[in-house]
Structure 1
Amino acid sequence: MDQGLHVLRPRTASQSPLLRNKAESVTITPPASLVSRRCWRLWLLRLLLLAGATYVALLVCWNASQLQVRGLSSSESDSVDLLVAAPPVEVQLSAREVSIRVALAVARQQEAEMRAKTTPTDKKEKKKVDARLRCRGWKATHDCDSDGERLPGLDLPCGKPVPFNQSGYCELEDKDTGQVYHAVRRGCNSVREDARFRCLDAAEFVKFPIRAKEVANKALSLAPLPGRGQDGIVMVVYPRLLASAYATVRTLREVLGCQLPIELWYRPDEMISMRNGLEPLKTLADSAGGVTFHEITDARAFGYGTKVYAIHHSSFERVLFLDADNVPVRDPSFLFQSEEFVETGAVFWPDFWHPDNTIFNIHRQSLVWQLLDLPFQDSFEQESGQLLIDRRRHTVPMEVLSFYAFHRPNLFDKFKLAHGDKDLFRFAWLHQNASFHMIHAPPAVAGRLTGVRTQQVEDVRTEAQAQAKETLEAEASTVETPDEYPDEMIWTHLLSFNSSAPRADYVIETYNADPQFPKEQHCYGQLHIGSNPNFYAEEIAGLSFAGLETDLRRFAKEAAELAAHAQNAQAESSNLNVPGMTQDETNNLLRPRVAALYASFLLCLSASRVGLLKGADGSSAASTFRSAMNAVAREANQFQLMRMEFLTGSLNDQDDPRDEVATVEQPKQQIEEKSNSKSSIEEAEEHARSVKMLPANDSKKRRLKCIGWRATGHCTPHGPREPENDKGCYNVIPNSVSGYCEVEDQDTGELYGVMKRYCASLRYDAIFRCSEAPNLVNYQLESVEAAEKALVPGFALPNVVEATTQPRDGIVMVVYPKLIASAYATIRTLRTVLGCQLPIEIWYRETEIRRGTEALAPLLELANTSEAGDISFHKITDHWATGFGAKVFAVYNSFFERILFLDADNGPARDPSYVFESPEFVDTGAVFWPDFWHPGYTIFNIHGQSLLWEVLGTKFVNSFEQESGQLLIDRKRHAAPLELVKFYTFRRPNPFTRLKLAYGDKVLFRLAWMKLQTPFTMIQTPPAIAGKVINGSFCGMTMVQHDPKGGVLFLHRNSNKLTGEVKREIIYHRPQAIKNVREKLLKEGIDHVPDQQAVDEEIARLSSTPAPTLEPPELDGLPDPAMWTHLLSFNTTSHRGFYKFSPTEPPHSSPIGNVATVSES
């Protein structure tokens, strides 16, 4: 035997530590004829045979479980970088099949390694790119300004952390050109105090925005993210949130009636720690329906990254993501039809924090803006507990978001520039200048009010219209409570912010509320209620979602009970007993096998130490096996990885150093050039003279590129230049400033000034950026193209028959549940009171009517009566035609040739049939009516300096605004203007709503006719007002319109709509019912929490008693109050400047709606 070979002898069975004592061992006595040396050789041969039999099983089982991808060390991760997204193999393979696949994979791996020796890898190329920028160290500056005076005494080498409160920059050198750059410019508070920043990372920092742009550019060539064209809810669950997810899904299905499909995403390795953790949710899915489960297979997608992965890989086209502990208080389905989402395709919600009060250091001087290569955004931070995203419309931002979340090393985490995924969504959308809507209402807080302190442990979000409290994001602890539910009740009050107060006053305090809550529980709200008068507290018992927390706690308890039952069942079925054997017999059967496996392991360990298990290339068996298994998984995941490689492959390509020079140094060079030349103001004035003002009626379609905002003085775009107030293309332009957007014609290189703004050109709440200017310039050209389609010979609007000689006249209405009573009253008045026999079309959206059960029943019953005449019903089928757009759809698609459109709450004072024969309509084919407002007195900012006229490409017209509660149009004569109205209404993005240039459809008809210079008649008599005289004041709530001769024709109930029901107080019976049952039990001497049945019976009893009325009863006994006792009219001989309406509060406490007074001349 070779003297250099040392073999580790295995222990005998009696020596094995796996056996309890020597009495349980087996002793083999060799025959006397054999010498002792031959005996131990025979023993060794038997042991080797046993080892050979278990060798394959040991490698397959032990290596597969212990050396899987997620357990690799950093030194071995290079060989499996493409395995991170490989899904687990779910099929069961035989040992032979595994051996064959492993052998094939080993061959492929060896071939790949041979190619790698002759072809440079992408990583080597990347190292060359990174090596071009060499760090020269940290250069400190004075006064917390990176451009301040140098402080050489505080300079630091590249590898030394830079102190928190020090300003300066990192100096980088291009090794190819020798040029020196200043990068990562820092103020004293640009990073958080606990962030570890070194200039050694500066090169990676500089390259980050370049890589993000490459990802975005490649994503532009990709197909939209896959989806089934379906709306749905997406959640991510992990063991600690299983009960919360169960409660949320139960609430959505059983309490709120939400039928949206739900995807639940999870990481299998996280669920291992909680055996059968998903069983409660799977049980619920079987009963609730529409709930599916999906595994997260990307090893990088952990923690906050799971949310990004789930949204990116969802099968839904339009996604509402909810954190599992985020419960809606109403069915969230309506959000998918909200105007904000339809227009932008993405709705985000604000967090507690903003630049004036932030715990995440996101403010003007934050380093995050340099990393993203974005200008500072002065807005609330984002809270991502809920996200509403159209994945198909926003493929590119989603790919940029994935890059932000999964790039390594993650610079957001490394420098603590953002917390998890919290702000990454809005960052990605801002990076791509993609449209999104940020909810304007700041989040409220739900919690407790104790003494003079308010303890808030919930975060309340508002819906897209900022009308109702939308979601409650629970983060409370689970503390035993006196009632039957283990989770503590923590929602007693709602702390809200006065939205009219300045944002700087929105300061949420964080503190500990010990002993009411555990020391580790943080509270958000106001430590001393009333210390900030801009916050106000309401009792949740009086809100619409009172009792919701009890439902959630009940569902959470149910989830815990189901989970415990599943774990007990698993424990009973997981015993190692063999059927027909006792536990001791089973142990005796297993011990020899365990001993043999342990001996085999020792033998393999010895062989590997002496090199017997080395591969031909020197690699170990474990690494060879691991590489083989990686190759198998890589082959199974080939198509998925091709997409990932396509997106990230460019990050390893060679970069042109001149691009880096331009990216890093260009801003500095521009500043230095400006400082060395004439004064910036003189230079700005000289440059302004070279910029042409684009004419409003320019008819050439141009490829324009935004250069930036150019500020001017004296509240006019033609005033002196103020370069210190210039902004970038993506900066929001402040209100009450003047200037223009400078754009460049990419074909000719000419510079133009467009979107010329006076101080009053936009409303105070409009958000405007010059990045929108190129689209706005071409908007008027697109509108003309849309109208020209209707000028082609043979074009006709839908349902218009050209060959008819007798025009078909009729009335058109649009109804929705709240206006059914008004429509019924208007039609009955037309037929039975006024004797009007014009046919009537009633248009409606089926989705709106479906929410109001049997809503159309009164109108359908009326249509079947003999006195109703010709009444037909028509569905609005365009999903864009919501809100004001429904009117445009009905007018455009009507079956009448000449229509009188009436709002459902607009009642004629006489039979309107005669207006079809009026000289004004016969002459022009279109009659419109004026609104209360005119350029001298407007609440919609339509005047001579409004930006509206430049966007439309028309001249300012000094006249009353239009009120579209009634429209008289000959559709056959005016196909082109109606086509333009359709374009104005449904074109996305819509500048009228985005820039608040107009309100709904109110003025769109007049603007379309003016744009095409088509004649129309505007009624000259200003609208009067019908109302009451109360205590010497006139309280008006109905607009009165006139016919062409000045007679009263229409009474439009703008407020206090007809309902046919007595207005009563809104009563929430559950809190009162609980109180009543509780008091009844206490009187009987029972101190116990009321059971649900008793509470439900008390609610039924309380519901049978009518709530108090809000208004005194009328003498005639009708439920709607009589509001028309007086008519207030304007003297038509007076100057229009005296025609002013002042919205006021009613002179008594009755909530009768908006009222108005008139200043008479």
Structure 2
Amino acid sequence: MVLIFEKQTASEDCEIKKTQALRQVDSLAWFWKSSCRNMIVLLCRCAFISIAAWKLLPEPADISHDRAVNTRFLGELGNEFDRSIDSHIDNLECIGWRATKECSPLGPLFEGKNRASAFLRGFIHNDLPCDQQIPVYWEGSGYCEMKTRAGQVVKVFQKGCREGSHRPEQLKAYFSCHMAASFLKYKNRMMSYEPDEPITVSDHAVPSRGIVMQVYGRILPSVYSLVKVLREVHGCKLPIEFWSLSGEVTESDPVVQQLLAETNTALRIISDASITSYMSKPYSIVYSHFDQVLWLDSDNFPFHDPSFLFETVEFQQNGAIFWKDFWRPQMNDFFLTKSSLAWELFDIPPDSPIREEMEMEAGQLVIDRRRSRKALNALLFLTITFKEIIGPMDLLLGDKDLFRFAFHTTNTPFHYMEKPPGFAGISTWSFFSSHTVCGQTMMQPDPVGNPLFFHRNLAKLKDRKSLERVWEKGMRFIGNSDAQYHVDGWPSFSRSACYAPTDPAYFEELDFGIGSNVSQFESKILFYAGEAVSMLEEENPK
């Protein structure tokens, strides 16, 4: 695929420069306003946390046990303790939480009562009883000691200090040593899980293929535009399934009627009340009527017909294709860090190359359901049990990495697209940033590295106000390894956030000026989304 970039007219160029100048004024105003507000909020939070930590910090537990002997990690015990056998786990006795130094569960133990130290550092540098709640994402390292019937002491919940930046909600994530048994059994339950409703595939010689996507009220303009682009711009003939939670849309909705009027489309309703929010994505893929599925998020627009992905060597050899996200655990730059408890939950060894992989982005997925039965069983288990451990402990962000862990733990092969994503966004410049592009759309590559999917995850099409052009420039990764890839988010003057590389030397800047094929592509997307918005406005006039 060749990207063609053409010059815009003088009047268009003038208008763009005017818009960019206005953005800089907005940027200055935003900076001073947000700086003052953020400073006040920070001071209030610090005062509250300090008082709460001092008042609510538990007294250190006085647990009589020789901590210097017989203490080993689960992975070091070999045949002495097999966590794949539930009866071994059931016979574990909880001793308590052991606080360690050096921000590592392998560090030396804290001795004595360290209430003052705990106050200054943020939380726990003390031994604690088994029923004490321990923050997942707070300062302090350690582990839960559990004793076998033979007297061997093993370590569970091997926790390091907080790493990277975390959402405020994550500070509410807790665990206790009493949860150790259910934590250790979780993978065993996943590996043996068989759903009540069987996962069915056809027995035809030629597998059925189709696109699966989610639909609900707020995203109807985007879904409508995506379908129109697939059918009318790209000539894609793959059948499409629209999946929706019960009560979210009806066939009487004018936009839904237009979607179902398209050739080879069907609406499927999820009646299982336990499936909510983003968990409908894995559920829809697991129970799709297609043998081979291309999942598309409703705001993810293919640059050309994506049907060819089913014929690629990557898919034919592996049975699944996944794409990378911006983030790498070894950089501790987002949700899944190098010392996350998720690794222990899924029993992934410290030296496993899986820990080096970048996080996964699930805006597009290609899966052969026939060849992925074990992984789909595991995926469904992770979906329906998300609120047991993964959700409350905030170990993974939504559904996206559930796919990767389900495939890895069941030894189901998949192809991980080599190049990490680029992004498209508005041209920018400010006194406070060297970035030239405010990334608003994730650009995912095809197998040879050219932009294939434009995922508008920060520029969603939901109403008339959102129908604006944001693809003025792009950034494409040209480095040789994931270690050279580092993207950061930063506050925007008029948007929720921007994404840009921390080292532009490993990125190629692309000009998506008016008249280029990317600009024309976005114009068609906005046109179709506008049609859907008009239908919704006629149905519900203000």
Normalised to the residue count of structure 2, the TM-score between the two structures is: 0.72
- Give yes or no for the alignment of 1:182 onto 2:155: yes
Correspondence 1:247-286 to 2 at 5 A:
247-271=225-249, 278-286=253-261
Q: Tell me the secondary structure at the aligned position of residue 476 of structure 2.
A: strand
Correspondence 1:128-527 to 2 at 5 A:
132-152=91-111, 153=113, 154-163=126-135, 164-173=138-147, 180-189=153-162, 194=171, 195-215=173-193, 225-226=201-202, 229-271=207-249, 278-286=253-261, 288-375=262-349, 376=352, 377=354, 378-407=356-385, 409-451=387-429, 453-466=436-449, 468-477=450-459, 487-500=467-480, 502-514=481-493, 517-518=494-495, 521-526=496-501
Please tell me whether the aligned partners of residues 360 and 419 of structure 1 are also in contact (alpha carbons under 8 angstroms).
no
Counterparts in 2 of 1:303 and 1:226: CA distance versus 1, 3 Å? farther
Read off the aligned partner of 1:470 and give its amino acid letter. L
**CA drift at 1:539:** 0.9
* Structure 2: unaligned runs, 5 residues or longer: 1-85, 114-125
Q: Distance in 2 between matches of 1:407 and 1:294?
A: 23
Please tell me whether the aligned partners of residues 227 and 316 of structure 1 are also in contact (alpha carbons under 8 angstroms).
no
- Give yes or no for the alignment of 1:533 onto 2:516: no
Q: Tell me the secondary structure at the aligned position of residue 155 of structure 1.
A: coil
Counterparts in 2 of 1:333 and 1:128: CA distance versus 1, 3 Å? closer
**CA drift at 1:533:** 1.5
Please tell me whether the aligned partners of residues 351 and 380 of structure 1 are also in contact (alpha carbons under 8 angstroms).
yes
Read off the aligned partner of 1:444 and give its amino acid letter. G
Work out the percentage of aligned pairs sharing the same amino acid.
Answer: 32
**CA drift at 1:543:** 5.3
Read off the aligned partner of 1:299 and give its amino acid letter. A
Read off the aligned partner of 2:441 and give its amino acid letter. E
Q: Tell me the secondary structure at the aligned position of residue 365 of structure 1.
A: coil
Deviations 1:743-766 (A, max 9, x none): xxxxxxxxxxxxxxxxxxxxxxxx
Name the larger-Rg structure: 1
Counterparts in 2 of 1:391 and 1:478: CA distance versus 1, 3 Å? closer
Q: Tell me the secondary structure at the aligned position of residue 187 of structure 2.
A: helix
Q: Distance in 2 between matches of 1:434 and 1:147?
A: 32
Correspondence 1:989-1000 to 2 at 5 A:
none
Deviations 1:932-964 (A, max 9, x none): xxxxxxxxxxxxxxxxxxxxxxxxxxxxxxxxx
Q: Distance in 1 between matches of 2:462 and 2:216?
A: 23
Deviations 1:330-351 (A, max 9, x none): 0001001001001101000000
Q: Tell me the secondary structure at the aligned position of residue 390 of structure 2.
A: helix
Read off the aligned partner of 1:464 and give its amino acid letter. P
Q: Tell me the secondary structure at the aligned position of residue 264 of structure 1.
A: strand
Alignment match, 1:564: 537
Structure having greater relative contact order (Cα 8 Å, sep ≥ 6): 2
Q: Tell me the secondary structure at the aligned position of residue 174 of structure 2.
A: coil
Counterparts in 2 of 1:149 and 1:506: CA distance versus 1, 3 Å? same
Q: Distance in 1 between matches of 2:328 and 2:499?
A: 15
Please tell me whether the aligned partners of residues 135 and 203 of structure 1 are also in contact (alpha carbons under 8 angstroms).
no
Read off the aligned partner of 1:357 and give its amino acid letter. M
Counterparts in 2 of 1:486 and 1:311: CA distance versus 1, 3 Å? closer
Please tell me whether the aligned partners of residues 245 and 325 of structure 1 are also in contact (alpha carbons under 8 angstroms).
yes
* Structure 1: unaligned runs, 5 residues or longer: 1-126, 572-1161
Counterparts in 2 of 1:512 and 1:404: CA distance versus 1, 3 Å? same
**CA drift at 1:165:** 2.3
Q: Distance in 2 between matches of 1:487 and 1:231?
A: 32
Q: Distance in 2 between matches of 1:556 and 1:446?
A: 19
Q: Distance in 2 between matches of 1:547 and 1:190?
A: 42
**CA drift at 1:476:** 4.0
**CA drift at 1:279:** 2.6
Correspondence 1:976-991 to 2 at 5 A:
none
**CA drift at 1:209:** 1.6
Read off the aligned partner of 1:506 and give its amino acid letter. Y
Q: Distance in 2 between matches of 1:474 and 1:360?
A: 20
Counterparts in 2 of 1:559 and 1:393: CA distance versus 1, 3 Å? same
Please tell me whether the aligned partners of residues 361 and 400 of structure 2 are also in contact (alpha carbons under 8 angstroms).
yes
Read off the aligned partner of 2:519 and give its amino acid letter. A
Read off the aligned partner of 1:411 and give its amino acid letter. I
Correspondence 1:1049-1068 to 2 at 5 A:
none
Q: Tell me the secondary structure at the aligned position of residue 396 of structure 1.
A: helix
Deviations 1:68-112 (A, max 9, x none): xxxxxxxxxxxxxxxxxxxxxxxxxxxxxxxxxxxxxxxxxxxxx
**CA drift at 1:180:** 4.2
Q: Distance in 2 between matches of 1:144 and 1:204?
A: 25
Read off the aligned partner of 1:200 and give its amino acid letter. H
Correspondence 1:725-874 to 2 at 5 A:
none
Q: Distance in 2 between matches of 1:181 and 1:267?
A: 43
Correspondence 1:896-975 to 2 at 5 A:
none
Please tell me whether the aligned partners of residues 199 and 286 of structure 2 are also in contact (alpha carbons under 8 angstroms).
no
Q: Tell me the secondary structure at the aligned position of residue 304 of structure 1.
A: helix
Name the Cα RMSD after superposition. Answer: 2.9
Counterparts in 2 of 1:428 and 1:196: CA distance versus 1, 3 Å? same
Please tell me whether the aligned partners of residues 479 and 485 of structure 2 are also in contact (alpha carbons under 8 angstroms).
no
Read off the aligned partner of 1:498 and give its amino acid letter. I
Q: Distance in 1 between matches of 2:461 and 2:374?
A: 45
Q: Distance in 1 between matches of 2:461 and 2:306?
A: 30
Deviations 1:597-636 (A, max 9, x none): xxxxxxxxxxxxxxxxxxxxxxxxxxxxxxxxxxxxxxxx
Q: Distance in 2 between matches of 1:231 and 1:224?
A: 14
Deviations 1:990-1035 (A, max 9, x none): xxxxxxxxxxxxxxxxxxxxxxxxxxxxxxxxxxxxxxxxxxxxxx
Counterparts in 2 of 1:173 and 1:330: CA distance versus 1, 3 Å? same
Q: Tell me the secondary structure at the aligned position of residue 228 of structure 2.
A: helix
Alignment match, 2:520: 547
Q: Distance in 2 between matches of 1:165 and 1:423?
A: 25
